[in-house]
Structure 1
Amino acid sequence: MAETEFDYDLFVIGGGSGGVRAARVAAGEHGARVGLAEHDRYGGTCVIRGCVPKKLMVFASEYAHVVDEANAYGWDHKAGGFDWSAFRGKLHSELDRLEGVYRNLLKSSGVDTFDARATLKDAHTVALSGGETKTAKHILIATGGHPVRPDLPNADLGIVSDDIFHLDELPKSMLIIGGGYIACEFACIMNGLGVEVTQYYRGAQILRGFDDEARGLVAESMRENGVDLHLGTNIVEMSLAADHKDGPMPTASDAAMGASAQQRRDIPGKSGAKGSRKGPIWVKSTNGTEKVFDMVMFATGRDPSSREMGLEDIGVSIGRRGEVVVNEYSQTGVPSIYAIGDVTNRVNLTPVAIREGMAFVQTVFAAEPTPVDHELIASAIFTQPEMGTVGMSEEEARDKEEVEIYCTSFRPMQTAFAGKPNRVLMKLVVSKKDRTVLGCHIVAPHAGELIQLAGIAVKAKLTKEQFDATCAVHPTMSEELVTMRNPMRTA
């Protein structure tokens, strides 16, 4: 097919952060003819079903203890209840506004948008669910990922993270299955909103892959804050309590709820928990415990959204979990087709997807081959307290070289004055050979804000001595990052 016969220079499949950025820059800065198809809502997982609504729920949940702390500081306040319906209304209004922003950005950049599902017919042809076909010199797959349920009978009785923003009302009790950042974040959120939260995780400690010391403090803090966390525990059976062979069992909150616990409304959601919840759910765990919860949430992983797009039929390689296999330039084995973001299952973070989109545009439309640097990416987990991390964990670093560990844990001034037991952690992992700071790990309120700045120093490969040469800002929690003079241990 000759180049002049293409409808577009670029066709993007997926209207999330990465796809929208690539489309906008290609059209607005490079004059490319760009089309984009999105079958759901513009903004993707981050804006509509992930980072943004989750962070707003984090903010809401953190107000639970404000009155107690204010009273400790001399204020005379009384706590009221949390109004989920009022919050949810404002939440959805904000998401609608942000989706409108994304649509307008595409329009102002000259991108043609199609509210349709797209599949591939060949290396240059996209078929839309409305019946149209479009051709393009380059095709960019940016379809993201989706939450998955375990292979378990009646798993459709539980919800997933996509559904939680659409609840008609908050449950009185909730079981969360999983130990990753999504499970832990929502355990803290729901606990802060007044839900009685139980969490099962099959592993020995939550937040696998992160620094052991840091995740240990997060787990301890979650328990102190009221999350009933069970490690080495998984779900083996579930059913509606009313259908359980031994008859319905009372939930922990039945006494307070009365008959309303048996009359739950259906829960709508874009992702669709299949079927309808019609009452409390009976659960049996691997340790033999049987309990009933008003709601069960699965946070057991996410898979790339690449299925049923025709990719394999045209020669695009798909990995075991459904990830689109790409090279360092985000190019698939079919030269005209590229993929970025969570659908590639490289580093599944919104800022990474945006950077991959920018690198794609530089490579294809600016003729400047630009690989994406996936090393030393800072990230935050919005538990309570938050965890911020960049670089290697102590465990990862010591397997590669001899390291010194600088670490301190203490009660921060603000909450210590209010009589709270909360502790924070500041930790640096330092190469003994060249003194480079290989990793920084923070568990503290606003750790996400702190790690963004610490990430600059770690990315720049600064040494421990350069940290030490930086004057402290006092009194702050983060001053400990530049005042720890002696290593706690060598590993």
Structure 2
Amino acid sequence: MADYDYDLFTIGAGSGGVRASRVAASHGAKVAVAEEYRVGGTCVIRGCVPKKMLVYGSMFAEELEHAHNFGWTIEGKSFDWPTLRDFVNADVDRLEGLYGKTLENHEVEVFRERATITGPHSVKLASGRELTAKVILVATGARPAMPDFPGVEHCITSNEMFLLGEQPKRLMVVGGGYIALEFAGIFQALGSEVTVVNRTDRILRGYDEQIVERMLHIAMGRGIDFRMHCLLDKVEKAGDGCLRVHIGETNPVEVDQVLIAIGRTPNTEGLGLESAGVELGKHGAIKVNEYSRTNCESIYAVGDVTDRVQLTPVAIREGHAFADSVFGGNPRTVNYDAIPSAVFSQPPLAGVGLTESEARRTYGPVKVYSSDFRPMKNIFSPHPERGLYKMICDDTSGKILGIHMVGPESAEILQAAAVAVKAGLTKQAFDDTVAIHPSMAEELVLLR
């Protein structure tokens, strides 16, 4: 290894890259990381962490609306977007510092500039410095996809939503995935008029259809305007600063901001992967084997840049498994079965395992148990919103194939239930468990 400057050179200091780098260093490797933007990556800097904080902030709006039913009188209540925005961004700064400290504590050298690959064992920094490494890890993540249409320059992506100078009174969200629905819920709760435009009649593909339908019904009841089977033709900026969005209807829709949230594209452009003959797959994702190795034996990739499963906890596991395999003498792979996930919409939904339609296609006869209930907390609200929990089981063995839910705190509740699905437990195990009463989670052991 003395023939190289480093044992490992990681490009990208997001969740996967940081985990891989620090674990490799703990195994005794000499490690360097290059990050062209900010340490922490999408999740910490401009993704799930600050977005969840915005969700928490927006939840106060509904609580305040019916606070009188709890016995509280709140006079002069108002919302100030810059206060919430600045608090969230200040905490992002704090978290970035902690991530940097983690690398520093593990003696990982950090180059705060862009790096590109110049060969199987070499990289070049933006400053012009050239370095060598026995192993190169690409962990550059993904970026928001932007379509091409007239006026797209007037639109923004999720990256810019955390930096808005002022809260848009009228917001259009283009897309039907989790990012689109989460921001739609946040700003609707904060008082913006929100329109969601989607090119098909399906939103949140991959989640159980019945659960999504319930969430959609609630979102519409809260005032979000959904325009299905619509495509953006063009966006025009008027003299007064508002945006006129043409979506195939007779009259354009006037809004103050347009958020494009149609998916994410792997960050592989301009990385120099061709200099090492690294193969790319669909949408420019890096092709890797089960050990995250590319077709070039000295170059690996983890996280969203591989487009396997675009979730932060998955990237972290991939980075850890890579480091253990290559530098720890413990070859490990990541199991992608039964990965739980959530959408922090309002209310949130979550799921793990097979949806009902997937289970029927795979197993044929299945049993579906459900609970359709009004959470006790919602009794204080004027909105008659009901939660829905579902459990899909193999008809013969009773093995749980999937659990899906929508309602308050769904993600928090599902995390524990996901252990049961991963462990291959049966419905009987839930039936044998005593309920915690009164709670929403008890519905999981009372499903019929």
Does the aligned pair in 2 maintain the 1:67–1:78 contact within 8 Å? Answer: no
Give 1:159 deviation, angstroms.
Answer: 0.5
Q: Tell me the SS of whatever aligns to 2:216.
A: helix
- Which residue is equivalent to 1:106? 103
Does the aligned pair in 2 maintain the 1:468–1:483 contact within 8 Å? Answer: yes
1:354 lines up with 2:351 in the alignment: no
Give 1:294 deviation, angstroms.
Answer: 0.8
Q: Which amino acid is 1:333 matched to?
A: N
- Which residue is equivalent to 1:331? 293
Distance in 2, matches of 1:16 and 1:44, equals: 4
Does the aligned pair in 2 maintain the 1:73–1:418 contact within 8 Å? Answer: no
- Which residue is equivalent to 2:174? 177
1:305 lines up with 2:286 in the alignment: no
**Structure 1 stretch 30-39 or stretch 226-235: which is displaced more?**
226-235
- Which residue is equivalent to 2:243? 281
1:414 lines up with 2:411 in the alignment: no
**Which of residues 218, 227, 232 in structure 2 aligns to 1:230?**
227
Give 1:233 deviation, angstroms.
Answer: 2.0
Give 1:77 deviation, angstroms.
Answer: 2.2
- Which residue is equivalent to 1:342? 304
- Which residue is equivalent to 2:390? 427
Q: Which amino acid is 2:175 matched to?
A: G
**Structure 1 stretch 162-171 or stretch 416-425: which is displaced more?**
416-425
Distance in 2, matches of 1:437 and 1:447, equals: 18
**Which of residues 125, 130, 151 in structure 2 aligns to 1:133?**
130
Distance in 1, matches of 2:251 and 2:344, equals: 30
Distance in 1, matches of 2:353 and 2:76, equals: 41
Give 1:289 deviation, angstroms.
Answer: 4.0
- Which residue is equivalent to 1:320? 282
Distance in 2, matches of 1:417 and 1:469, equals: 32
- Which residue is equivalent to 1:251? none
Distance in 2, matches of 1:405 and 1:306, equals: 42
Distance in 1, matches of 2:107 and 2:166, equals: 41
Q: Which amino acid is 1:23 matched to?
A: S
- Which residue is equivalent to 1:22? 20
Q: Which amino acid is 2:293 matched to?
A: Q
Distance in 1, matches of 2:68 and 2:228, equals: 35
Does the aligned pair in 2 maintain the 1:204–1:232 contact within 8 Å? Answer: yes
Give 1:172 deviation, angstroms.
Answer: 0.9
Moved over 3 A (4+): none
Q: Which amino acid is 2:225 matched to?
A: D
1:295 lines up with 2:257 in the alignment: yes
Does the aligned pair in 1 maintain the 2:185–2:346 contact within 8 Å? Answer: yes
- Which residue is equivalent to 1:272? none
Give 1:79 deviation, angstroms.
Answer: 5.7
- Which residue is equivalent to 1:448? 411
5+ residue gaps, structure 2, are none
- Which residue is equivalent to 1:167? 164
- Which residue is equivalent to 2:366? 403
Distance in 1, matches of 2:446 and 2:251, equals: 48
- Which residue is equivalent to 1:86? 83
Q: TM-score, normalised by structure 2?
A: 0.98
- Which residue is equivalent to 2:113? 116
Distance in 2, matches of 1:17 and 1:304, equals: 15
Q: TM-score, normalised by structure 1?
A: 0.89
Give 1:205 deviation, angstroms.
Answer: 2.5
- Which residue is equivalent to 1:201? 198
Distance in 2, matches of 1:379 and 1:62, equals: 20
Q: Tell me the SS of whatever aligns to 1:166.
A: coil
**Structure 1 stretch 197-206 or stretch 115-124: which is displaced more?**
197-206
Q: Which amino acid is 2:356 matched to?
A: E
Does the aligned pair in 2 maintain the 1:236–1:284 contact within 8 Å? Answer: yes
Distance in 2, matches of 1:183 and 1:79, equals: 31
**Which of residues 58, 62, 72 in structure 2 aligns to 1:65?**
62
Distance in 2, matches of 1:396 and 1:233, equals: 27
Give 1:415 deviation, angstroms.
Answer: 1.1
5+ residue gaps, structure 1, are 243-261, 263-278, 486-491
Distance in 2, matches of 1:241 and 1:185, equals: 28
